[in-house]
Structure 1
Amino acid sequence: MRQTKTLGIVAHVDAGKTSLTEELLHLAGTTRTKGSVDKGSAVTDGLAMEKARGISIKTASVELEWNGHCIQLVDTPGHIDFSAEVDRALDILDVVILVVSAVEGVQANTLNLWEALKERGIPVIFFVNKIDRLGADLERVFKDIERDLQLQACMLNYLNTHNEDAFTLTEFHDFGKLAGEYPIEKTLENIADYDDAILESLLAEDLLNYHDVYDTAKILIKDAKLVPVVVGSAKMSLGISELLVFIQALFPYPNYSDQTLSAKVFKVYFDERYGRLAHVKVLGGTLRAKASIWSQTAAKDCKINQLLKRKLNSYEPVAELHAGDIGVIATSEAIPAGDVLGTQTTLNTFTPMNTPVLSTEVKAVNEKEYQNLGQALEYLNIEDPLLDFSWNKEDRTFSLKILGPMQTEILKDSLLERYGIATEFFPPKVIYKETPKTTAEGYVRYWMPKPSWAIMTFLIEPGAPGSGVQYRSAVRTSDIATKYQNEVERAIPWSLRQGIKGWEVTDLSITLQEGSDHNVHSNPGDFLLATPMGILRGLEKAGTDLLEPMYRFQIKAPSESIGAITGDLSQMGAQLETPEFIEDSFLLSGRVAVAQALEYPIRFAGTTSGKGRLKFTLDGYDKTEFSEDKTRPYQGVCPLDEAQWILHKRGAFKADERKNW
């Protein structure tokens, strides 16, 4: 079996990530000519929307051979609104190139990416791109990488500062020629922190054997004590071959010894020729065409109609995919992005880079396209489950969760380009939550019309902030049989999707206190139907407080802008921490309500003339004052409308309106 290495390229938007991908493909001989982002000819930007906008929207993978080595290259979107794509890609990567612009340096999404990579323990090599651009400052960027990302960096090459006529790079063994350059001196100090002999030579100002120092640096990088940094320019083909050499030398091939069949779905897309395509990386065993594999999301075996490998802009059928391989499954099954295939348990407990805090509604410009729009949105939801698409057929509305305005623009373009449906998106709204004000009981007696029987009393209690939903049963199985109690527990999440103010309910404890079944009339569906009625009655008695999402912000900006920035934040009701001043910049952290901060990035960019960095991270939910504009109508039939709810769930409504129950 051949050895493969899955190499991901990630970056803040416009750092030159896709240009680097194109240069790597050309260097390896995979492409005859270099693709261009500006000209819309980049290999990994295959969608018409990507070509038109000059940005990556979907993750793309392509294979290259270099000096006898097989590398599976994965190019990811840089815009924060498409971070769900990056999250799924991180699950399949063996090593990552984190691209940083030599002009802009560490930016907001650079921080997000580094934190995600560090949490997952994925080896990283930095590529400082655009060293040929006006405003490039390698010393400042090196300091930012170490200080802002809190790591020890190891420069592996550097710009030859003694050659003013052309951009040339100096290799590690010639670093002695660049004595006095801060990044070089700091690199040697970082290595010396782990090697007494090198430390003694530095203190004594002895001549260093840079070949030996490099050998020590390689060991420290492999042990994850130092993080490697390479400088260059993708557009000028500087530092690219060196980057590949370092990746091969510093990061070994992964060991896929587990023969248990498993694969991770990192992307789903609908192709005109092949239909539904699930892009996967095989993590163990061998995947075969025409076989079936267990989908952990769908909880069933899914038939593999065809296996494919991507070759630049086309797909080639293959008979098998082996452990470590990236390939594509053509299937008629609704396998969603992020799914795990196979029976092996693969827990993903990592923190997502971004969590939706906005919701929007969408409608077709032509009302006759209503049904088609619903089906198209269902397809898009399979491609990106984070959309959490909701189709309320009673009110004829479509709801989506989004990460930001750019995502809305892309969704609108996708619906028009792929499905021919012109749409209108409503202004996004903040997603609030509810929590009980006080303790109350919710009683439900569902015993008519016969045959039916489910009687229960739920105790609803407020929980600690951030505690989520706690459920337990205090009812004996002699009163309510185990099979019925299991249905009650299964119905709890559904019951809390909308509270009395229309939002998801959280931070509460629910106890099934009392109840009874009937040895003749009861069936499992009775308890599924009755549970939301009891829970909502309890919440109605307890009343609910409104919870609003909060951002934690991190700001780095020029010192002269601190007055304007703190003034803006104070007007937004933000909680400010003590600022820290570093040279001609300041760092400021704090918390602010999402609703107050929605438009602030635009104002911040103007205040800092584009020279500041603003990072938002979801930081839980706080109680907020109630107002009518923060509520929303209950979507669908409310369990508090007992007669309609029972009719709805017992089948009086059409079957296709019940399928999402």
Structure 2
Amino acid sequence: MLISQLTRALVRRPLRPCKLVSATALSGRRWQSTDSKVRNIGIIAHIDAGKTTTTERMLYYSGLTNRIGDVDQGDTVMDYLPAERSRGITITAAAITFNWADHKINLIDTPGHADFTFEVLRSIRVLDGAVTVLDGVAGVEAQTEKVWKQANEMGIPKIVFVNKMDRAGAGFGRAVREVVAKLNTRVAIANIPYFSNPDSADSQFQGVVDVIDKKVIVWTPESDGKQVMVEEIDPEKHGKLHDECVNARTALIETLCELDEALVEEFLEIDDYMAMPSQSIKRALRSATISRQVTPVLCGASFKNIGVQPLLEAVIDYLPAPLDMPAPRAITKLPSVVVKNKKNDKAISSVSKVRPEESITIDPSNDKYTCALAFKVVNDPMKGILVFVRVYSGRLQQGTVLLNTSNGQKERVTKLLQMQADETIEVRSVETGNIGVIVGSKDIKTGDTLVAHSKKKDGAHLLDSREKGLHLHPIAVPPPVFFVAIEPMTLADKRGMELALEILLREDPSLHLSYDYDSDQTLLSGMGELHLEIAKDRLTNDLKAKVEMGKIMISYKETITQDTDVVENTSFDETGASATVRVTVEPVPIEGDGLPDQAELLTHDNNYISYPDISQAHPLFSTQEFHNAVRAGSLPALAKSGKQARLPLHSLHINVHSLSVSDDMTNTSVVSTAVRLAAEQALEALSKEAYAIMEPVMNVRVILNEEDIGTVVNDLSGHRRGHIVSLSENENPGDSKDEESDDAGFYRDLAESTYVPHDHTLYLSKHDARLTSRQTVVHARVPLPKMVGYLNSLRSMTQGRGTYLMDFYRYDYVQSDRVAEVIDSI
């Protein structure tokens, strides 16, 4: 039968029409959706796997757009930044809301490039489920493994969509086995590919076989994907295809029966794999997916408009609603309290007690307490600052006064939006489990926790101390390893540059800003060369900053190799009050051991501080106030440069041994001055030879065929000065632990025994070298300067077959025979 809308043919239950709400209808009202009808999902994958192409089809078939955006044409809805459209890649994590079959889907399309890992991390933090898109030819690639692991660490259930099944060399069965072996998961094949003229040279991928509903779904060639033929699979008409469907359904039910007792009991009554009710299979598959015991796998070809609607159905059927996920964990950090001995209501002595952090669970059913996480900040040229938030409890409403627990500031929500990429819809409120946008915030930044009273818009003062001190676990920001010098074109352009940089850093906390006092330059640091190139584009083209930028360079650092002598400093303020401190500065061990337990991380440059015992320092000031003053004095001391090459200081430990203050001290600024001068004097007293240059060292995983091992290992350990950590068969990232290695071995064996349909196209193709040559992972640690331009070299050494994944390991000393080379390059 020919049906114009695939949705009508795919569902087993009565038709669930896509209820589209126009921008006009939505304006000024709140979404009428229950938690069970909401899906917060992300699209994750390796670069060029087809994430944005798949997303554009989702928007089109949902009715949100009336045309399909094309990555190559630069007119996609999701990649709306000029830099994204010009490069054809996703840079930021675009958010969009649309409806499918009476459900509301909040979708995040994330980058696949390794330089934008932070964008992926902050998006995964607020998701309930994810769609992992694979290239049917390339299979499971390096960045896919990395992002999969990150999603696993956050407990995110996933669906796999094997894309590009129309391409020569695509292998669905091979890709499924790679999912099991490399991503360490059991699979549940929900549909299998349908080819016209199978086993012939002119075979074409035209549709899928729905294993659960026993239907053959064929898309009309060269159509927009809305015209399909759907028919029940028939043993006489479909022959081998029917047999394959039986095999797939049998394997699916047997896998689920191992995990679901109710399904076992039902099967024992029916005793027929093909007669098992679809709804029973779906129920069991949904449960197993949400508990992350299995991963549903589907296939398609998004660019050819094949297979996207079944993928949307799978999102609704198998991925969790917000309340299906475990309640989010948080910490409540209560303020220090001062216990005073009183006489005539005057404090004569005090002891400050810092209360320990308490781990708690956010109750999503608490309708009196609003708790939300700011996971993304964007500067819109027309609307100003937009803060993307995920609401975990209560209701976020227009007019509500929010308390930012990260900085203690209060802000009133003047406007709330739902995002459709670069289009917006104003709403009155955002419910629990949903994603919305706050407009016009002055101080909120990525990672901040926002709380409010749900029933009273001005009720922030009614929150108790635990609620006011609540912090959802923050998003960790990786250290930057590249930098570029930025200067205003003229002195008059300096203020514009500063404002643009402030906006840029609010948008992207993985960028860091510092100032080199010796060269009088502002330095912008980032995760990679492409990361900084995009930042430069944003500054000049989008934020219209008139700046000049230098060459992108490796972010070298300096440290000290010995402890300083103890320096005692006494400082006075304008009133004559004094503070005396005794300070040493010590190197932080490369391995991270040897620091005092109470040492506190001070900056992203791995610098630490230890506070003295100051419980009796002064009766009118709390321990926290003294800690703040000591910290404020340490930061400018660490802003000084080293003596080898005037580089920023890294891996230092400022140890404040003692602190005493005069009785007439009225503020703690004199403490900051004393600490700063003592630390500066201690560092200045060291000779040039006591300083050493450090460079970023990267964890490198190279995936290659066995015949290329010798060439690649010799290159890494010789020319690139790397240290080979291990050689192993291709396995899951993070395989250094014995138990994880055991798991990897288990899943490699499981992959061999997992049912997959026959990849009949592979014998017609020359693109299946992976079936005849075993792959190996070379795990090495290599100085970042030696990895610049590595991809081209790797392709040359492996005839284009090798891939690699790289992330930050630590800063380490530059080898002595390279110090002069490094100094010359700076």
Q: State the TM-score bracket (shorter-chain normalisation).
A: 0.7 to 0.9
Select between 161-170 and 605-614 the one with higher mean Cα deviation: 161-170
User: Is residue 315 of structure 1 aligned with residue 454 of structure 2?
Assistant: no
Q: Secondary structure at the match of 1:168?
A: strand
Q: Does 1:226 align with 2:294?
A: yes
1:85 counterpart = 2:111: no
Match for residue 603 of structure 1? 793
SS at match of 1:386: coil
The CA distance in 2 between the partners of 1:182 and 1:533, in whole Å, is 76
Corresponding residue for residue 320 of structure 2: 252
Q: Summarize deviations over 1:76-117 as a string: whole Å, max 9, x none.
A: 222222222222212221111111111222222112211110
Residue of structure 2 in register with 1:2 after alignment: 33
Name the residue aligned to 2:400: 291
Distance in 1, Cα, partners of 2:42 & 2:433: 14
Cα distance in structure 2, aligned partners of 1:313 and 1:180: 42
Aligned to 2:631: 490
Equivalent residue, structure 2, for 1:28 = 62
Corresponding position: 1:425 with 2:456: no
Structure 1: which 5+ runs fail to align? 633-661
Q: Is the alpha carbon distance of 1:158 and 1:118 closer, same or farther for their aligned partners in structure 2, counting shifts above 3 Å?
A: same
Question: Where does residue 172 of structure 1 map in the other structure?
Answer: 211
CA change 1:157–1:77 in 2 (3 A) is same
For 1:234 and 1:247, the matched residues in 2 are separated by 16
Q: 1:521 to 1:149 in 2, by over 3 A?
A: same
Deviates more, 1:400-409 or 1:384-393: 384-393
State the distance in 1 between where 2:246 and 2:565 align. 68
Match of 2:434 in 1: 325
> Would the aligned equivalents of 2:211 and 2:248 in 1 still touch at CA under 8 Å?
no
Tell me the equivalent position of 2:748: none
Change (3 A) 1:365 1:142: farther
Matches within 5 A, 1:459-498: 459-464=584-589, 465-467=591-593, 469=608, 471-474=610-613, 477-478=616-617, 482-483=621-622, 485-491=626-632, 494=635, 495-498=637-640
> What is the alpha-carbon distance in structure 1 between the residues aligned to residue 446 and residue 197 of structure 2?
50
Q: What is the deviation of 1:195? A: 7.2
Structure 2 residue 572 is the aligned partner of structure 1 residue 447: yes
Q: C-alpha deviations, 1:363-418, integer Å up to 9, x for none?
A: 34566533322221121111112212235688542211111111222222222222
Matched residues in 2 for 1:480 and 1:555: separation? 60
**Distance (Å, rounded) in 1 between the aligned partners of 2:247 and 2:822:** 53
Q: Determine helix, strand or coil for the equivalent of 1:247.
A: helix
**Equivalences for residues 25-174 of structure 1 within 5 A:** 25-160=59-194, 163-164=197-198, 165-166=203-204, 167-173=206-212, 174=214
CA contact (8 A) 1:559 1:581 kept: no
Give, in angstroms, the shift of residue 184 of structure 1.
8.4
- What is the alpha-carbon distance in structure 2 between the residues aligned to residue 133 and residue 631 of structure 1? 49
Of the three residues 719, 727, 730, the one matched with 1:579 is 727
Tell me if structure 2 keeps the 8 A contact 1:336–1:382: yes
> CA shift at 1:511, angstroms?
4.0
8 A Cα contact 2:398 2:415, kept in partner:
yes
| Distance change in 2, residues 1:482/1:473 (3 Å) | farther
2 CA distance for matches of 1:218 and 1:306? 37
Shift of 1:531: 1.2
Q: Which residue of 1 aligns with 2:813?
A: 623
Q: 2:673 matched to 1:534?
A: no
* Distance in 2 between residues matched to 1:156 and 1:620, nearest whole Å: 42
Return the alpha-carbon distance in structure 1 between the equivalents of residues 293 and 373 of structure 2: 29
Of the three residues 483, 495, 506, the one matched with 2:651 is 506
Contact 1:440 1:539 in 2 (8 A): no
Note the alpha carbon deviations across 1:323-380, whole angstroms, 9 max, x for none. 223222221513223332224623326665x542222212345665333222211211
* 3-state secondary structure, aligned to 1:5: strand
Residue in structure 1 matching 2:701, options 554, 558, 572 = 554
Q: Does 1:385 align with 2:509?
A: yes
Aligned to 2:802: 612
The letter for the 1-side match of 2:671 is F
Give the CA deviation at 1:513.
2.6
Post-superposition offset of 1:22: 0.9
Tell me: CA distance 1:193–1:253, structure 2 relative to 1, closer, same or farther (3 Å): closer
Q: Does 1:345 align with 2:474?
A: no
**Aligned AA for 1:503?**
P
Q: CA deviation at 1:179?
A: 4.5
Contact 1:496-1:506 within 8 A present in 2 as well: no
Q: 1:544: how far off?
A: 4.6
1:461 CA drift (Å): 4.4
Aligned to 1:645: none
- 1:159 positional shift: 0.9
Verify the 8 A CA contact 1:116 1:351 in the aligned structure 2.
no
Contact kept in structure 2, 1:9 and 1:17, CA below 8 Å:
yes
Q: Deviations over 1:579-605 (max 9, x none)?
A: 235743222112122232233233223
Are residues 210 and 21 of structure 1, via their aligned partners in 2, closer, same or farther at CA, if it must alter by over 3 Å? farther
Query: What is the aligned partner in structure 2 of residue 589 from structure 1?
Result: 779
Residue 471 of structure 2: SS of its match in structure 1? Answer: coil
Residues 190-199 or 246-255, more deviating: 190-199
Change (3 A) 1:568 1:197: farther
Partners of 2:559 and 2:651 within 8 A in 1: yes
SS class of match (1:235): helix
**For residues 198-277 of structure 1, what are the structure 2 equivalents within 5 Å?**
208-209=273-274, 211=276, 214=281, 216-255=284-323, 256-259=364-367, 260-277=369-386
Aligned to 1:527, what secondary structure does the other structure show? helix
Higher relative contact order (CA 8 A, sep 6+): 2
Tell me which amino acid in the other structure corresponds to 2:703: K
Larger deviation: 316-325 or 215-224? Answer: 215-224
Identify the residue that residue 360 of structure 1 maps to in structure 2: 484
| 2:809 partner letter | D
Distance 1:500 1:479 in 2: 35
Deviates more, 1:585-594 or 1:339-348: 339-348
In the alignment, the residues of structure 1 paired with residue 275 and residue 523 of structure 2 have an alpha-carbon distance, to the nearest angstrom, of 60
For the 8 Å contact 1:416–1:423, the answer to whether it is kept is: no
Offset of 1:226 from its aligned partner? 1.1
Confirm or deny: 8 A CA contact 1:474 1:511 kept in the other structure. Answer: no
Distance of 2:628 and 2:419 partners within structure 1: 44
- The 3-state SS of whatever aligns with 2:549 is strand
Q: How far apart, in 1, do the equivalents of 2:586 and 2:486 lie? A: 36
> Which whole-Å CA distance do the structure 2 matches of 1:478 and 1:58 have between them?
49
- Cα distance, 1:524 vs. partner? 0.6
Q: Would you say the 8 A contact 2:249–2:274 is kept in 1?
A: no
Quick one: which amino acid aligns to residue 661 of structure 2?
A: D
Aligned to 1:636: none
Kindly state the Cα deviation for residue 478 of structure 1 after the two structures are TM-superposed: 4.6
- Tell me how far 1:152 sits from its aligned partner: 1.8
- Cα distance, 1:50–1:628 mapped onto 2, change above 3 Å: same
Aligned-pair CA distance for 1:198 = 10
* Correspondence for 2:535 among 389, 411, 422: 411
**2:404 & 2:504 partners in 1: Cα distance?**
19
TM-score (norm 1): 0.85
Aligned pair count reads: 627
Rg (Cα) greater in structure: 2
Distance 1:489 1:478, change over 3 A: closer
Which one of the candidate residues 489, 497, 512 is aligned to 1:373?
A: 497
Kindly report the root-mean-square deviation, in angstroms, between the aligned alpha carbons of the 2 structures: 3.4
Q: Secondary structure at the match of 2:304?
A: coil
Q: CA deviation at 1:575?
A: 1.5
